[in-house]
């Protein structure tokens, strides 16, 4: 009985204390305030801007994967490792790191445009956050439009019921992003197919030689692996792959 009374008393004190804290502290903390200027522009409070920024940062990995060159690069590197037959070499961490830094190299002009036209004016309090976001959209939209096939845009626009698209600026991001990802997947597999052919020929030649010699029980992969590595090193394969991937974006 005493324990029950004590528990009720503690809950009552905590509730009273919480209510008193809310009444004294919350009025002094304008978490959400919107100020409307004379020209109709709205300015949000700093706390609300921080909340929006943290929400945007949570979407940053998805944006990096789906709106940059990262998708094409990491798929091509994965197909290259499969064609070489080196199993887990290079490791997943090495391939992702290589794809990430090559993405930064390729996307550097786009990121510089975003910083000059959006981030820098916003930090200098020259433009509101809405105009900064609109300015940041233009460079990334231009990059994605240059890499996206027209038939992919048409397909997703038809599905979304937005067939009246006269100019590239009329394409909404909800249509452009999935069309861009689809085009990147197709391009990545096309490049991967061309990479796979010479290594496949080596596997076929080695398998034919072993069969002709009667070595049926010996795995052709064990014999062909050093030849594939030697061929890849002799032709300076890493430089060719990295250069081809970078030029495939700059060419457009």
Indicate left, alpha or beta for 20 from its phi (over 0: left) and psi (-120 to 50: alpha). Answer: alpha
Q: Do residues 144 and 177 make contact, with C-beta atoms less than 8 angstroms apart?
A: yes
Is the preceding peptide bond at 84 cis, omega within 30 degrees of 0?
no
Would you state the pLDDT for residue 15? Answer: 44
Report the pLDDT averaged over residues 31-35. Answer: 51
Would you state the pLDDT for residue 91? Answer: 85
Would you state the pLDDT for residue 46? Answer: 55
Give every CB contact of residue 249 below 8 A, 6+ residues apart in sequence. Answer: 69, 106, 147
Would you state the pLDDT for residue 28? Answer: 46
Q: What is the 3-state secondary structure (H, E, C) of 84-127?
A: HCCCCCCCHHHHHHHHHHHHHHHHHHHHHHHHHHHHHHHHCCCC
pLDDT at residue 252 is higher than 50 = no
Question: What percent of the chain has pLDDT above 90?
Answer: 6
Whole-model pTM over 0.75: no
More confident residue, 43 or 79: 79
pLDDT at residue 214 is higher than 70 = yes
Q: What is the pLDDT of residues 45-91, one digit of tens each?
A: 556 667 666 776 677 777 777 888 888 999 999 999 888 888 778 88
Would you state the pLDDT for residue 125? Answer: 73
Q: What is the pLDDT of residues 104-146, one digit of tens each?
A: 898 888 888 888 888 787 777 777 777 777 787 888 888 888 8
pLDDT at residue 183 is higher than 70 = yes
Report the pLDDT averaged over residues 158-169. Answer: 77
Would you state the pLDDT for residue 88? Answer: 78
pLDDT at residue 216 is higher than 60 = yes
3-class SS at 1? coil
Would you state the pLDDT for residue 2? Answer: 45
Composition of the chain by helix, strand, coil, percent to 5: 80, 0, 20
Would you state the pLDDT for residue 186? Answer: 92
pLDDT at residue 190 is higher than 80 = yes
Predicted confidence band at 231 (pLDDT cuts at 50, 70, 90)? confident
């Amino acid at each position: 009985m005493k324990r029950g009374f004590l528990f009720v008393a503690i809950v009552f004190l905590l509730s009273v204390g919480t209510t008193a804290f809310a009444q004294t502290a919350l009025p002094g903390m304008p978490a959400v305030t919107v100020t409307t200027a004379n020209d109709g522009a709205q300015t949000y409070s700093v706390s609300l801007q921080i909340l929006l920024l943290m929400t945007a940062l949570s979407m940053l990995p998805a944006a990096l994967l789906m709106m940059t060159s990262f998708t094409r690069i990491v798929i091509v590197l994965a197909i290259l490792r499969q064609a070489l037959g080196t199993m887990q070499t290079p490791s997943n961490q090495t391939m992702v790191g290589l794809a990430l830094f090559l993405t930064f190299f390729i996307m550097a002009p786009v990121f510089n445009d975003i910083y000059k036209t959006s981030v820098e004016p916003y930090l200098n309090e020259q433009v509101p956050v809405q105009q900064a976001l609109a300015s940041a959209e233009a460079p990334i939209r231009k990059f994605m439009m240059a890499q996206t096939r027209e038939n992919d845009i048409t397909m997703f626009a038809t599905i979304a019921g937005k067939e009246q698209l006269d100019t590239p600026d009329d394409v909404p991001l909800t249509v452009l992003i999935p069309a861009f990802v689809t085009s990147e997947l197709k391009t990545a597999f096309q490049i991967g197919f061309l990479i796979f052919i010479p290594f496949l020929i080596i596997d076929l030649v080695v398998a034919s030689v072993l069969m002709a010699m009667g070595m049926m029980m010996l795995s052709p992969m064990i014999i062909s692996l050093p030849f594939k590595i030697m061929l890849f090193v002799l032709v300076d394969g890493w430089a060719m792959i990295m250069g081809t991937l970078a030029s495939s974006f700059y060419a457009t």
